[in-house]
Amino acid sequence: MTGPSLPRLAPGSTIGMLGAGQLGRMTALAAARLGYKTHVFAPDAAGSPAAQVSASATVADWNDLGALERFARSVDVVTLEWENVPVATVEHLRRFTGVHPGPNLLSVAQDRIAEKSFVNGLGIATAPWRPANDAGEVARAAAEIGPRCVLKSTRLGYDGKGQARLDEGSDPAAAWSAIGGGKPGVAGIVEGFVTFACEVSVIVARGADGAMVAYPAVENRHKDGILDVTIAPAQVSAATAAEADRIARRIAEALDLVGVLAVEMFVTPDGAVLVNEMAPRPHNSGHWTMDACATCQFEQLVRAVCGLPLGSVERLADAEMTNLIGDDVDRWPDLLAEPGVRLHLYGKAEARPGRKMGHVNRLLPRR
Ligand code: AMP
């Protein structure tokens, strides 16, 4: 689907940003480089990574309609760095200004069942899955798919949170309660466990006019459910890389994306590519583009939502991105001293375990 171009917003315009974490921060920095201002809106915006580098910040609840209207009227366009912003919030903002990506796309991306149904509807494979809303349904789903499977909450899971692994002999009731089953609003999905050769992701940027660019597939290695290292480009066959690229572009197009979308995929030992999940925003696995590509993922988001031409995704170097999680950040003096290392810190005051504090990019000669 190809839509009309967005009105071109000139430098000097203000981008509204829903969410105030590191992704918002790095988008605001890219926006500033092009002469745009950023206004952050989030309940936790005060002193946040994004607010530290933005022209203004609104601290208010997602359902504060008055604050949302004032925010929308003070900006020229709205985008987001967190896909779980309530859809009703985005619907309200849209009465006053453009919001990209929009509510339809968000409602798909906020729910693992909606996401997998959408992807399967395009003829794209995922792990086998079943909805499960009590311990009995978990047991039945595991019997059909399993026995090795993963129970996940359908909404609000990230970095491996809200997940429980099941295997022969596991207690479905324990898994169900481990993901918060029984609490109001918690629904579950059981997915077959994929014995993958590697995990890859592709980041696509798309404009309202249908123009689209995609970065090469990268390989992602996780530790304790959290992204640890991204290797760019992924060391997979040309056919696998092309298939991952095709899948990500197909999804972006079918969702009528305006902005940036990351699609995470499993590559099986026989070369099949299965979609795991997607995020309609800049993604941790795209941080390498900040130092290794002609245009980084954050600038692509700015370009897409401001109606500018998308930038070149040319890869100037290969790269390895390593996250600095929790106390890892204390290594900053050594990292600064290491030649060729690009250090990015997010301005977070407290280094809690599992918290993403920054990342480093190491550039490598192009293979
Ligand atoms: P997710 O939150 O769905 O991205 O899951 C976090 C990580 O858990 C993934 O990046 C995988 O390493 C692992 N994982 C999630 N789902 C599965 C699955 N169905 N099979 C195997 N590993 C999985």
Q: DSSP string spanning 274-302? A: EEEEEESS--GGGTTHHHHBSS-HHHHHH
The answer, yes or no, to whether residue 264 has pLDDT greater than 60, is: yes
Strand positions, DSSP E, the chain: 14-18, 37-42, 56-59, 77-80, 129-132, 149-153, 163-166, 188-192, 198-206, 212-214, 218-223, 226-232, 259-267, 273-279, 318-325, 341-345, 356-364
* 296 Cα–ligand 1 center, Å: 26
Q: How far apart are the first and last CA of the chain?
A: 35
C-beta of 194 in contact with ligand 1 (< 6 A): yes
CB 330 within 8 A of CB 351: yes
pLDDT in tens, 39-87: 999 999 999 999 999 999 999 999 999 999 999 999 999 999 999 999 9
**DSSP symbols for 86-121:** -HHHHHHHTTTS-BSS-HHHHHHHT-HHHHHHHHHH
By three-state DSSP, how is residue 225 classified?
coil
Closest atom of ligand 1 relative to the 192 alpha carbon: 19
Name, in order, each residue with C-beta under 8 angstroms of 169's C-beta and a sequence gap of 6 or more: none
- Report the C-alpha dihedral over residues 251, 252, 255, 258, rounded to 10 degrees: 170
Backbone angles phi, psi at 344, to 5 degrees: -125, 115
Nearest residue (by CA) to ligand 1, atom 5, is 160
Between helix 238-254 and helix 112-121 the angle, nearest 10°, is 110
Helix (H, G, I), strand (E, B) or coil at 330: helix
pLDDT for 340: 87
Say if residue 12 carries a ligand binding annotation: no
- Ligand 1 centre distance from Cα of residue 276 (Å): 7
SS3 194: coil
Ligand 1, from 191, 276, 277: best to mutate by most atoms within 8 Å of Cβ?
Answer: 276
Domains plus CATH for the chain?
14-109 (3.40.50.20), 128-192 (3.30.1490.20), 198-364 (3.30.470.20)
User: According to the annotation, is 191 in a ligand binding site?
Assistant: yes
Q: Is pLDDT at 1 greater than 60 in this prediction?
A: no
Report the SS3 class of residue 9.
coil
φ, ψ (nearest 5 deg) of residue 97: -160, 165
Q: Does the pLDDT of residue 38 top 70, yes or no? A: yes
Mean pLDDT of the chain: 95
State pTM to two decimals.
0.96
Q: Which residue has the tokens 């060729």?
A: 340
Q: Which two tokens stand for residue 163?
A: 């997940």
pLDDT at 160: 63
pLDDT band at 321 (very low <50, low <70, confident <90, very high): very high
Give the atom of ligand 1 at the shortest distance from the alpha carbon of 196: 21
Chain segment 145-193, per-residue pLDDT in tens: 988 999 999 998 666 677 999 999 899 999 999 999 888 888 999 999 9
Whether residue 219 has its Cβ less than 6 Å from ligand 1: no
Q: How far apart are CA 304 and CA 102, in angstroms?
A: 13
pLDDT of residue 214: 98
Cα–Cα distance, 316 to 250 (Å, whole number): 26
Question: Which atom of ligand 1 is least distant from the CA of 264?
Answer: 4
User: At 64, which amino acid appears?
Assistant: D
Per-residue confidence (pLDDT) for residue 156, from 0 to 100: 83
120 labelled binding-site residue: no
The percentage of the chain sitting over the pLDDT mark of 70, rounded to a whole number, equals 98
Cβ of 335 below 6 Å from ligand 1 = no
